[in-house]
Amino acid sequence: MKLTVIGCAGSFPAPDTPCSAYLVEAGGYRLLIDFGTGSLGELQRHLDPHLLDAIVITHLHPDHFFDTCGYAVMRRYSPGEQQDPIPLYGPVGVSDRIVAAYGGQGELCNPSLRDVYDFRELHSGSFELGPLTITVEQVAHPVETYGMRVEHAGSSLAYSSDTGPCEALETLAAHCDVLLAEASYLEGRENPKDVHLTGKEAGDYATKTGAARLLLTHLVEPWGSKSATLAEARAAYTGPVELVEPGQVYEF
């Protein structure tokens, strides 16, 4: 399995990274997980975006889905043959939210965007996506949000999406090869409950689940600290841990 970090900024783009988007490639299949603000630009450095096979949106916060709008324009109007609608998974109401964000009522084409996206709603449990086995569970965030586990040929990736501490994360990340965990907050502050993890909490989950590797993401730089987040995680987890950056590739 190959994981390419497309964007990893929390909440809004940073000068050096778009918001959340991760390209997962395995068995010839190309899955994009989240499609946050600015990520369609970085994605083009790594892949012709027309070649994506499916998209999973973990929740309907703008930093995880807004570039589905630009991508709709790209798929609809690029020269060449019209592609079939691409499967796009998301929480209940995903189609309405993307259509509202796109706001294309005045367009000549289908305002429902169903010529571009084959919308499918997520429900807790497992399903097959090409050669990948996907498991999603609701995590602790103010809107319906799914953490994920992606498996292929004995390799596994767990992704927290945005979440506070929750049991679902333990199930999803059990003995995974890579735990891609958000670490938006720092310890010692009055962090709201059920929104995000601290670096320490991400490290604790990596230890508790026996994850082989921990990747930290979704830092909100002006309010946090890369070095402090990394130090918190390292104190809680003795395995390999690092902060991700756009363009970084991990194969496992």
Residues of the shown chain interacting with Zn ion in the complex, contacts defined by CB under 5 A: 61, 63, 162
Instruction: Say which residue the tokens 């369609």 belong to.
Output: 40
Give the chain's radius of gyration (CA, Å).
17
Length of the chain: 252
CB 162, min distance to Zn ion, A:
4
Asked if 53 contacts 86 with a C-beta cutoff of 8 angstroms, the reply is: yes
Closest distance of CB 83 from Zn ion, Å: 28
**Comparison of 25 and 162: residue with beta carbon closer to Zn ion:** 162
The tokens describing 158, both together, are 């767990």
- Min separation Cβ 155 and Zn ion, Å: 25
CB of 59 to Zn ion, least distance (A): 6
Q: How far is CA 126 from the centre of its chain?
A: 17
Residue 130 to residue 178: CA distance in whole angstroms: 21
Integer Cα distance of 141 and 114 in angstroms: 28
Return the number of the residue (34 or 151) whose C-beta is nearest Zn ion.
34
Which residues face 35 on adjacent strands?
none
User: Of 10 and 104, which has the nearer Cβ to Zn ion?
Assistant: 10
Shortest separation between residue 63's beta carbon and Zn ion, angstroms: 4
Task: Name residue, tokens 């409950």.
Answer: 193
When the beta carbons of 142 and 188 are compared against Zn ion, the nearer one is 142
Q: Which residue number, 151 or 185, has a Cβ lying nearer to Zn ion? A: 185
Could you identify the residue written with the tokens 């990948």? 132
Which C-beta is closer to Zn ion: that of 99 or that of 197?
197
Phi and psi at 111, nearest 5°, equal -70, -15
- Placement of tokens 């399903």 in the chain: 127
Minimal distance, residue 56 CB to Zn ion, in Å: 15
